[in-house]
Amino acid sequence: MGFSVAVAGASGYAGGELLRLIAAHPDLEVRTVTAHSNSGQRLIDVQPHLRSLSHLSLVDTTAENLAGHDVVFLALPHGASGELAAQLSDDTLVVDCGADHRIESGDDWAAFYGGEHHGAWVYGVPELPVLGGRQRERIAHVRRIAAPGCNASTVALALAPGIRGNVIEERDLVAVLAVGPSGAGKSLKLPNLASEVLGSANPYAVGGVHRHIPEILQSLRWAGATTPSISFTPVIVPMSRGILATVTARAAPGVSAADVRAAWERAYANEPFVQLLPEGHFPRTADVLGANTCLIGLAVDEAAGRVVVIAAVDNLVKGTAGAAIQSANLALGLPETTGLSMNGVAP
């Protein structure tokens, strides 16, 4: 009973979050967890918070070990999943939480990532408004899904309703994100040290070089934009998880504040996991910690002529592992919300 699951990269933060969510999922059962340098260890020694999975041990990340499961989640460093995925059965549902299968344009891939381009899989953000409907319809029953970049999907969810509804201009978008360091994974680099992050706000990838930029623009084109442009700046702040995206756009000429709000209301009125807050309310990342929820606040700044969208997500849940499972639910024909909570852990 239930679908058998393997998680590759189970020793990392995204892998750990996948396992936390799968452990609470009634229809998914983890059989195999794989890792690289931690192979051979008990899972619980590497992920001591996953008490209910104390029976699992890590094995090597190989196609053999991943074979024979109904679902395989890949939570590997960028560049590692392309080749591995090619060796998995076409019948297996594979959800890649890395970047390897997100970008359609070979030029964008070359410019922002480099190395071999493995092509794009269906993008795992079900609520994304796209021309003719929502991304959801594209996900049902496929066997290959690219879970989104956490920053990219947050900004896309924030902006797409305005693009789709023609109430904002597609040029001159600006996104500034307060992000927790868990998005960087367990990478042992100086900027990721606690002493560097505590008590400080640290920008990185400033000036148009962040790898999530082409992914954002791709989503906006799906929503109807032609040649969108965005200034994108992430700022690491001292919270382990969370993304608070402050995204602004020029209001389209002749559009009223009511028109603007209506566009976002239309987009997300019936979405359990993407919710527009009432006028005057804005989200905090604590509200969505641990939840598969994206909360959105909206204001129109008449004096500045800009629409301000504030979006909050947990980068490891709605930004990564939750999006992966929500998309897997769709692909498996399960109710989309199965096993996912919309409630945050606050304070």
Rounded Cα distance between 268 and 241, Å, is 24
3 state SS of 159: helix
Do residues 9 and 35 make contact, with C-beta atoms less than 8 angstroms apart? yes
Minimum CB separation from a second copy for residue 220, in Å? 13
Closer residue to a second copy, CB minimum distance, 83 or 301: 301
Q: Which stretch binds a second copy (CB under 8 A): 40-48, 56-64, 100-108, 121-129?
A: 40-48
Residues in the interface with a second copy (CB under 8 A) total: 95
Do residues 185 and 12 make contact, with C-beta atoms less than 8 angstroms apart? yes
Which positions from 161 through 180 interact with a second copy, judged by CB under 8 A?
Answer: 171-174, 176, 178, 180
Tell me, yes or no, if 97 is annotated catalytic. no
R_g over Cα of the chain: 19
Which positions from 322 through 341 interact with a second copy, judged by CB under 8 A?
Answer: 341
**Residue 4 is which amino acid?**
S
Closer residue to a second copy, CB minimum distance, 88 or 104: 104
Selected from 282, 324, 329, 330, the binder of a second copy by CB under 8 A is 282
Rounded Cα distance between 232 and 252, Å, is 20
Residue with tokens 């395989």: 72
Under rule CB under 8 A, residue 24 binds a second copy: yes
Which positions from 192 through 231 interact with a second copy, judged by CB under 8 A?
Answer: 192-204, 206-208, 213, 229-231
List 72, 80, 139, 150, catalytic entry = 150
Closer residue to a second copy, CB minimum distance, 82 or 344: 344
3 state SS of 94: strand
Selected from 81, 182, 219, 320, the binder of a second copy by CB under 8 A is 182
Do residues 39 and 105 make contact, with C-beta atoms less than 8 angstroms apart? no
CA torsion 320→196→232→155, rounded to 10°?
Answer: 30
Return the active site residues. 150
